Amino acid sequence: MVSPLVALTPKVQSAIATALGDDYREADPVLRPSQFADVQVNAALALAKKVGMPPRELAARIVDALELDGVCDSVEVSGPGFINLTFSDAWIAELLQDVEADERSGVALQATQNIPIDYSAPNVAKEMHVGHLRTTVVGDSLARTLEHLGHHVIRQNHIGDWGTPFGMLIEHLLDVGRDSEEAELLVTDPNAFYQAARVKFDRAEKAEPAGSGGDFNVRARTRVVLLQAGDPDTLALWRELVDLSKIYFNKIYSTLGITLTDDDLAGESTYNEVLADLCAELEAKGIATVSDGALCVFLDGYTGREGKPVPLIIRKSDGGYNYGTTDLATIKHRVEDLKADRVLYVIGAPQALHLNMVWDTARKAGWLPDDVVPVHVQIGNVLGEDRKILKTRSGKPLRLMALLDEAVEKARTVIDGTRPDLDDTVRATIARQIGIGAVKYADLSVAHDSEYVFDLDRMVALTGNTGPYLQYVVARVRSIFRQIGLDPIAQHAPLLLGEPHERALAMHLLGFGDVVAEVGDTYEPHRLAGYLFELAQAFSAFYENCPVLKAERDEVRESRLTLCALVFRVMTTGLDLLGLEAPEQM
Ligand code: ARG
């Protein structure tokens, strides 16, 4: 399965060898799509200097040697020595016929690698915020894509389930009672639960004289000590907190159609047992040293203001461990136990320094060999209309579930307007699919490290670069096939390309395999989103200009139906890799 550029490369290489001799057989022919032709070859420009020949003359010689019978309709030298090639319709049809016959629509399977992906990672007893939403959506799309390329993806949901706040959270749970409405908040509005505990703690801390605000702070501290010492009753209470939070996380995941399950949980607490040894090993190897009572790693190249070295603190002076300590454990585990070939951390851009320090420490310790590639897929901020980090909506603190409900409601208004003829329950399903799809697509259609403004009205629109615009293509093709009582999956016929819009659509369809591979290499789902958006545009132009069911000849009608069916397959697969559902109708 090859794209035209790939198929053409050896032909150009052998023409160069004929023109210049075998020494130049390996020369990079530099092919790229161009606005003047299907492809432009820039080899002559690069090679002319080397061989001391005017570029236009060299280009002409390469053209003479090119064997492009049946492949190109036109070959011409232009400008300072570009070679412009225009493929014949028959050749494009032939290439696309292979893609059409391929179950995977041109996506090649790669040699399987083990790839742990760290994404989502919300915190227990806290609301997921839009940043968590974005790592969840981007991480899930990367997991789906790498899996589709043939890799063994190991999802790692590094939830924040350990640390000092748990003393206060456990005591608050005991105070309100496990079956109380307040405890239920952990599932419905976790921040409210957290805040209530925090307020009680702060009030007790600030009370004068000491103790007049109750002993909540004292109890919370004692509880942390018990938790860390592994007291069974305390651990059972802690597990209840985590379990209630899991219900909350899973509700969000199922609403969003995220592939994470409880089996993928690998929270901070899972590393508790190894942290002491890990610190001891770093100390024994001379990588970590005690400074002001804390165990620190000082690395070259990490300095703060006035050139003062910035340490990675791995054990605080009170004996507690840090975020950096657990992350050292994550990289060690993923390399040694999960046998990672690459490790993805899909987390906020501001954590770049943290991750680099962790990886450099792990390299020094011999836990991260050079052939394992750690990658930080940096997640940028989501902004409100005021261009500040989105934290509230209509004055209230942001609740993710409420935000998703709002998206579905907006989508419902859209679909009520366009399809009043449909059943109420059918419209409800479509509204959910496009409302959720719209929110996810907003995260996926921009570079994952860029900032963007969260604007629900724009996201649910049926036009523009939106999720619903892409979903609409699928619904449209389904409706064409519904009219003739056939299934697009069963449609196969010889492809004939005569009209420019047919040809443009065919050329675009040839690129699917390459773009999916590119997402796997660059970890940038927005490339796939952009490809699908252009596919939707190419399909619309085709559909407006080339009658399908009313085509003049039967072969043309069958060919056009096959093009529609291939658009359907590529679009549903592409949407699935992004994590969007494809509605039956819209
Ligand atoms: N729980 C963290 C947060 O909410 C994210 C953890 C990301 N993963 C990691 N291995 N550090 O910011």
Residue pLDDT, tens place only, 534-554: 999 999 999 999 999 999 999
Cα 136 to ligand 1 centre (Å): 11
Q: How many C-beta atoms surround the C-beta of residue 97 within 10 A?
A: 16
**What whole-number distance in Å separates Cα of residue 286 and Cα of residue 452?**
44
At 170 the three-state DSSP class reads helix
The CATH number of domain 272-379, selected from 1.10.1240.10, 1.10.3720.10, 3.40.50.620, 3.40.50.300: 3.40.50.620
Residue 385, pLDDT > 80, answer: yes
Average pLDDT of span 430-434: 98
What is the structure's pLDDT at 260?
98
Cα 388 to ligand 1 centre (Å): 22
Q: Of 273, 310, 304, 272, give the one whose Cα is nearest residue 291.
A: 310
Q: With bands split at pLDDT 50, 70 and 90, how would you rate the model's confidence at 35?
A: confident
Q: With bands split at pLDDT 50, 70 and 90, how would you rate the model's confidence at 15?
A: very high
The CATH number of domain 425-578, selected from 1.10.260.40, 3.40.50.150, 1.10.3210.10, 1.10.730.10: 1.10.730.10
Cα 158 to ligand 1 centre (Å): 6
Q: With bands split at pLDDT 50, 70 and 90, how would you rate the model's confidence at 33?
A: confident
Q: Is the dihedral of CA 405, 406, 409, 410 positive or negative?
A: negative
Q: Which of 13-17, 137-141, 429-433, 517-521 has the lowest mean pLDDT?
A: 13-17
**Residue with CA closest to ligand 1 atom 9:** 158
What is the structure's pLDDT at 374?
98
Q: With bands split at pLDDT 50, 70 and 90, how would you rate the model's confidence at 231?
A: very high
> Does residue 268's CB lie within 6 angstroms of at least one atom of ligand 1?
no
> What is the chain's mean pLDDT, rounded?
95
Average pLDDT of span 260-270: 98
Cα 120 to ligand 1 centre (Å): 8
> Does residue 332's CB lie within 6 angstroms of at least one atom of ligand 1?
no
Residue 1, pLDDT > 70, answer: no
Contact present, 241 and 169 (Cβ < 8 Å) = yes
Cα 160 to ligand 1 centre (Å): 7
**Residue with CA closest to ligand 1 atom 5:** 121
Please give the number of the atom of ligand 1 that sits closest to the Cα of 132: 4
Residue 448, pLDDT > 90, answer: yes
Q: Which CATH class is domain 4-87?
A: alpha beta
What is the structure's pLDDT at 210?
86
Q: How many C-beta atoms surround the C-beta of residue 511 within 10 A?
A: 20
Q: How many C-beta atoms surround the C-beta of residue 25 within 10 A?
A: 13
Contact present, 121 and 134 (Cβ < 8 Å) = no
The single-letter code of the amino acid at 271 is Y
Cα 314 to ligand 1 centre (Å): 16
Residue among 129, 158, 354, 375 whose CB has most ligand 1 atoms within 8 A, to mutate? 158
Cα 246 to ligand 1 centre (Å): 16
Average pLDDT of span 307-311: 92
> Does residue 502's CB lie within 6 angstroms of at least one atom of ligand 1?
no
What is the structure's pLDDT at 381?
95
Q: Of 68, 67, 69, 42, give the one whose Cα is nearest residue 56.
A: 42
Average pLDDT of span 471-481: 98
pLDDT in tens, 519-531: 999 999 999 999 9
The single-letter code of the amino acid at 328 is L
Phi-psi region of 107 (alpha: psi -120 to 50; beta: other; left: phi over 0): beta
Q: Of 85, 107, 103, give the one whose Cα is nearest residue 3.
A: 107
Average pLDDT of span 115-133: 96
> Does residue 412's CB lie within 6 angstroms of at least one atom of ligand 1?
no
Residue among 270, 334, 347 whose CB has most ligand 1 atoms within 8 A, to mutate? 347
Token code pair at residue 450: 């860029």
Question: Domain extents for the chain?
Answer: 4-87, 165-244, 272-379, 425-578
> Does residue 357's CB lie within 6 angstroms of at least one atom of ligand 1?
no
Contact present, 217 and 205 (Cβ < 8 Å) = yes
Cα 303 to ligand 1 centre (Å): 23
Q: Percentage of the chain with pLDDT > 70? A: 100
DSSP 109: P
Q: What number of H helices and E strands is found in the chain?
A: 21, 15
**Residue with CA closest to ligand 1 atom 4:** 122
What is the structure's pLDDT at 2?
60
Q: Which of 131-140, 333-342, 391-400 has the lowest mean pLDDT?
A: 391-400
What is the structure's pLDDT at 32?
87
Cα 438 to ligand 1 centre (Å): 25
Please give the number of the atom of ligand 1 that sits closest to the Cα of 348: 12
pLDDT in tens, 194-225: 999 999 999 999 998 888 888 999 999 999 99
